[in-house]
Amino acid sequence: MRYILKKVLSMVLTLFVVSLCVFLAFSLIPGDPVTRMFGTEATPELIAQYREKLGFNDPLLVRYFRWFFAFLQGDMGTSYDYKMPVAGMLAEKIPITLTLAVMSFVIMVIISIPLGIYTAKYENGIIDHVISVINQIMMAVPPFFSGILLTFFFGVILKIFTPGGFVSYTKDLEGFLKYLILPAFAIALPKAAMATKLLRGSVIEEAGKDYTRTAYSRGNTTNAVLYLHVLKNAMIPVITFMGMALADMVAGSIVIEQVFGIPGVSRILLSSINNRDYPVVEAIIMGIAIMVLVINLLVDIIYRIIDPRIEVEE
Amino acid sequence: MGNVILDVADLHIEFHDHDKPETVVEDFDLMLEEGEIVGIVGESGSGKSMSALAIAGLLKRHALTKKGRIMFNGTDLLTCSRKELRSYQGDEISMIFQEPMTSLNPVKKIGWQVEESLRIHHKDIDKKERKRRAIEMLTAVGMHDPEKLYEKYPHELSGGMRQRVMIAAAMIGEPRILIADEPTTALDVTIQAQIVELLRKMNREKGTAIIFISHDLSLIRQICKRVIVMQSGNIVETGYVEDIFRHPKMSYTRKLIAAIPQIDLS
């Protein structure tokens, strides 16, 4: 309980620092939201009037804390561009980006666990070598490029995927999920390759330990030893990576959404950065930061579940 | 003479992981009768553990050759199928090891590990009955509060307790042979005596034959009737422990006897 409290406190502190950084970064880069709002119709009077109205004339820290406390109370402000509440704007986009990230994560886990164990079991066999080469390629190709290749192959050649044929989850959930499979693969493949490689090494190391000999002495098959005994031990270092990968996938989906034309958070994020639409950018970045922190917390909790020794060492 | 349950003859083990093959066990013979305790004694590298691992079917398949025969239940464990070998492992032939600290899986509960052979070999036994037997077994090896222990993890136990858990796990299927490879070496002396006593109790009550491996001849004398003395892969002497103590034929055996510390109380 004390542990959770400590964690939550440090999370709030981290969020505070993140938000401050974003706020400061935007006050440093050139570009002014009010000027952009009016474009060519801007007159000095109009600008001055709106600057006053939006509170831009207050000192930076005053603006920051005004925003921060509002944010803590759940008020993300109003978009300069769209003139609507940020929360409402994001509410329908976040599920899309999150679904994509979670799908990528699931694909990564489903691929890497059996493959990592298999390549460790047949260490230095032909298939191990082949998979090792494929892994290298997967790690080297960035998701946006494999995304283009996948679209070309499945969309243009095989015609089992309609590029640009995105349907919203509110209209057709199945069609929505089907559309996300390819982009999810594009995000997942390099991470799956890394996780496979990591798990392979970890399984090989664990398989040499004494408890596996005990497991064999009780009549276990090799697969039973690997899945029932070794896997849980071998996952301990891999879980850290998978947690980081999930956080990365949330950020990675923003690029992939552009490639596949998915109307997730990415479009709003890019346009709001261009238009200096601070409330929107701040809210999205805070959202990503919160997600990363929550994922880290989950990883910590999963650690404790998997490895009973951790609790004692505290 | 009782019923011979294990007959090892001409066992050769050769390693191939270097340029020159290396013989680690040569002409190893062992006859084990039902319910008896046989000792194998020798210094490190004498091949005693290798022979034991071969009998338990735990030598890795590659990088070594095995010759001879290990007859158990009418089958040769050296040449039989992997599947048949597995059907004996943990059920008819069990093994406990030198390193109680690392022989248990650190992330699995004690109960799960103690029950494992039952889960593998006796699928007809349901979960409740498995647990009942595991707790009975933990009690039999002298553990206090077995219900609580059932839910614990290995790191919460001392070395001696872990070795007791290993014995409980090895004995739960009531095997005909228990191979104990230096089971007390890593433990301190008082715990050592308790573990030896426990093995004797298991032998007495369950009728399990034990192959007891040690480098300590005085320990062998406490528990075994017959002993095999090994040196650099060969059997140098074999017979009743008392005879060997009184009339050691080989100088190596004499050295082993001389290595036993004597306490002069006078």
- What is the pLDDT, as a whole number, of residue A130? 94
Strands B64-72 vs B4-15: parallel, antiparallel or unpaired: antiparallel
Which positions in chain B touch A123 (Cβ < 8 Å)? none
Q: Read off the pLDDT band of A313 (50, 70, 90).
A: very low
pLDDT tens digits, one per residue of A147-174: 888 888 887 778 777 777 778 877 888 8
pLDDT of residue A199: 96
Average pLDDT value for chain B: 89
Q: What is the mean pLDDT of residues A53-68?
A: 78
Structure confidence at residue A77 (pLDDT): 79
Chain B CB within 8 Å of residue A303 CB: no
Q: Is B76 left (phi over 0), alpha (psi -120 to 50) or beta?
A: beta
| H and E: helices and strands count for chain B | 12, 10
Judged against a pLDDT cut of 60, whether residue B36 lies above it is answered with yes
* Range with the poorest average pLDDT among A101-105, B179-183, B217-221: B217-221
Neighbours of B101 (CB within 10 A): 17
Subunit contact A219:B103, Cβ cutoff 8 A:
no
d(CA B31, CA B226): 10
Reply yes or no on whether the pLDDT at A222 is more than 80: yes
- What confidence score (pLDDT) does residue B1 get? 53
pLDDT of residue A312: 47
* Window from A194-203, A252-261, B5-14 with minimum mean pLDDT: A252-261
CB contact under 8 A, B90 and A214: no
Mean model confidence pLDDT for chain A: 85
Q: Tell if the CB–CB gap between B105 and A213 is shorter than 8 Å.
A: no
Which residue has better confidence, A1 or A298?
A298
B140 token code pair: 């039999």
Q: Does A216 touch chain B (CB under 8 A)?
A: yes
Identify the pLDDT of residue A104.
Answer: 93
The Cα of A129 is separated from the nearest Cα of chain B by a number of Å equal to: 19
Which of A219, A306, A312 has the CB atom closest to B120's CB atom? A219
Answer yes or no: are the C-beta atoms of B107 and A306 closer than 8 Å.
yes
pLDDT tens per residue across span B141-166? 888 899 999 999 999 999 889 999 99
Q: How confident is the model at residue A119 (pLDDT cuts 50, 70, 90)?
A: very high
Query: Higher-confidence residue: A310 or B55?
Result: B55
Instruction: Pick B107's closest partner by Cβ from A217, A307, A312.
Output: A307
Higher pLDDT, A136 or A84: A136
CB contact under 8 A, B102 and A219: no
Residue A211 to residue B87, Cβ atoms within 8 A: no
Q: Coil, helix or strand for A25? A: helix
Whether A219 and B104 lie within 8 Å, measured CB to CB? no
Does the beta-carbon distance from A218 to B120 stay under 8 Å?
Answer: yes
Which residue has better confidence, A160 or B59? Answer: B59
Q: Which of A214, A222, A225, A226 is the best mutation test for B, with the most CBs of B within 10 A?
A: A214
Tell me, yes or no, if A223 comes closer than 8 A to chain B by beta carbon: no
A266 touches chain B (CB under 8 A): no
* Phi/psi at B201 (5° precision): -65, -45
**3-state secondary structure (DSSP) of residue A100:** helix
With CA atoms as reference, the chain B residue closest to A230 would be: B105
Q: What is the pLDDT of residue A311?
A: 65
Query: A216 or B20: whose pLDDT is higher?
Result: A216
Look at residue B265 in the predicted model and tell me its pLDDT: 64
Contact A220 B56 (CB under 8 A): no
Residue B45 has pLDDT above 80, yes or no: yes
State pLDDT tens for residues A124-145: 899 999 999 999 999 998 888 8
Count CB neighbours of A278 within 10 A: 23
Task: Mark yes or no for CB contact A219/B89 under 8 Å.
Answer: yes
Q: What is the pLDDT of residue A135?
A: 92
**Non-local CB neighbours of B64 within 8 Å, separated by 6+ positions:** B13, B14, B15, B16, B17
Interval B90-142: pLDDT, tens: 999 999 998 888 999 999 999 999 999 999 999 999 999 999 999 999 998 88
With an 8 Å Cβ cutoff, is A233 touching chain B? yes
